[in-house]
């Protein structure tokens, strides 16, 4: 069967070359005579995989030697409470309310300390991120922000610099552009958008925070335990980590994050160009906050939006329905999205407008 174009928000499109490598590795991997799904996480076979994944992530994200790279379970949502449970401990943190997931993270953090929310765009449908920020109150343990907001289709195009440790949920734009990862105290991201399949959460923790981490919470939730056990306190998601290693190898082969950034921007520009070409389509995010990863738009008519994503699916363009909480339309164009898919989408949008405008 011919593969269709996948615009799903996650789990999302993966590089074709990685899919083919994974297909072979399921049967036999690395000359070991068994597949990657079957090998022990304690074996030399898997040691090579996880060590390579860490090394590639460190290079791509410009991480320092003092930052620990962890592969965890539970999805990014587990980090909403695991982070403040470990490091907030009754203290004060600043959260920027730029979308559904940022709001959820702040809600969980309130269980463990005081949460200041100096910025929220909820009243306008989370259609923008802040351009500037004031310095957080004295004693603030960290500032938390979500770099890309999948539901609303907004993205930070700068790293906040406010004089306190930075925490970032990078789930939907991690490794989509150059980033100085060493600027962050903590980074976390679900794998299922830009790195691999669902089931793995990448966490990057600055070593200086280990002393702050609570030692009286269950061991499975202690970052220090996962650092000490090198992400093997319990059996990790071996196949997911294998795919992450292959995706990061693919990124390095393209020329790194500078190269993928150019590709991502080019694709986003083409879709936004079609949205802005006439008055038929309406972008949901404000211009300065538009996401390169999740492009949200609408015709302004719910019935027409439904017709669009249904006709698009019939034409081989899958996953264009907006998030269930907001409706409308959404095209997710993560790192592995192809130029052919973007060209097909733009052409279909033009055809749909001609027939319905």
Segment 174-189 mean pLDDT: 97
Q: Prior bond to 11 cis, omega within 30?
A: yes
Confidence tier at 290 by pLDDT (50, 70, 90): very high
Contact 331, 345 (CB under 8 A): yes
101 catalytic per annotation:
yes
* pLDDT of residue 257 exceeding 90: yes
Per-residue burial over 186-200, b = 16 or more CB atoms within 10 Å of its CB, e = otherwise: bbbbbbbbbbbbebb
Q: What is the pLDDT of residues 2-25, one digit of tens each?
A: 899 999 999 999 999 999 999 999
Q: Which of 101, 126, 209, 250 is catalytic?
A: 101
Segment 127-153 mean pLDDT: 97
Q: What is the pLDDT of residues 27-44, one digit of tens each?
A: 999 999 999 999 999 999
Q: According to the model, what pLDDT value does residue 325 have? A: 87
Domains contained in the chain, CATH given: 16-254 (3.40.640.10), 255-356 (3.90.1150.10)
* pLDDT of residue 1 exceeding 90: no
Question: Whole-angstrom Cα distance, residue 305 to residue 136?
Answer: 41
Segment 260-279 mean pLDDT: 98
Q: Which of 97, 169, 261, 305 is catalytic?
A: 169
Segment 328-338 mean pLDDT: 98
Site of tokens 């539970």: 74
Segment 214-220 mean pLDDT: 97
**Is this model's pTM higher than 0.85 or not?**
yes
Q: Which of 97, 126, 127, 193 is catalytic?
A: 193
180 catalytic per annotation:
no
Segment 116-131 mean pLDDT: 98
Quote the mean pLDDT of the chain.
97
Contact 236, 227 (CB under 8 A): no
193 catalytic per annotation:
yes
Segment 326-353 mean pLDDT: 98
Confidence tier at 249 by pLDDT (50, 70, 90): very high
* pLDDT of residue 297 exceeding 90: yes
* pLDDT of residue 182 exceeding 90: yes
* pLDDT of residue 357 exceeding 90: no
């Amino acid at each position: 069967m011919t593969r269709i174009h996948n615009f799903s928000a996650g789990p999302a499109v993966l590089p074709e070359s990685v899919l083919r490598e994974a297909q072979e590795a399921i049967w036999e991997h690395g000359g070991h005579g068994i597949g990657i799904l079957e090998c022990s996480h304690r074996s030399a076979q898997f040691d090579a995989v996880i060590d390579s994944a860490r090394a590639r992530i460190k290079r791509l994200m410009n991480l320092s030697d003092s930052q620990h790279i962890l592969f965890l379970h539970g999805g990014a949502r587990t980090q909403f409470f695991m982070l403040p449970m470990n490091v907030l401990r009754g203290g004060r943190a600043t959260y920027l309310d730029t979308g559904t997931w940022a709001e959820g993270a702040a809600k969980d953090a309130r269980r463990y300390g005081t949460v200041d929310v100096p910025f929220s765009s909820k009243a306008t449908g989370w259609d923008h991120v802040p351009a500037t920020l004031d310095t957080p109150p004295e004693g603030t343990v960290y500032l938390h922000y979500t770099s890309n907001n999948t539901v609303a289709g907004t993205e930070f195009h700068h790293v906040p610099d406010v004089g306190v440790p930075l925490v970032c949920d990078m789930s939907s734009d991690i490794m989509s552009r150059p980033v100085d990862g060493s600027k962050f105290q903590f980074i976390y991201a679900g794998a299922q958008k830009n790195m691999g399949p669902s089931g793995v959460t990448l966490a990057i923790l600055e070593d200086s925070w280990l002393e702050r981490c609570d030692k009286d919470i269950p061991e499975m939730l202690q970052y220090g335990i996962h650092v000490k056990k090198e992400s093997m306190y319990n059996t990790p998601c071996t196949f997911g980590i294998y795919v992450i290693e292959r995706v990061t190898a693919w990124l390095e082969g393209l020329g790194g994050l500078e190269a993928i950034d150019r590709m991502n921007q080019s694709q986003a520009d083409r879709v936004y160009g079609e949205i802005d070409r006439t008055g038929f389509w309406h972008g949901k995010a404000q211009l300065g906050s538009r996401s390169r990863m999740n492009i949200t738009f609408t015709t302004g008519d719910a019935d027409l939006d439904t017709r669009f994503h249904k006709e698009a699916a019939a034409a081989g363009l899958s996953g264009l329905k907006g998030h269930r909480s907001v409706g409308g339309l959404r095209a997710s164009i993560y790192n592995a999205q192809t130029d052919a898919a973007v060209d097909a989408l733009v052409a279909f949008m033009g055809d749909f407008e001609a027939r319905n405008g």
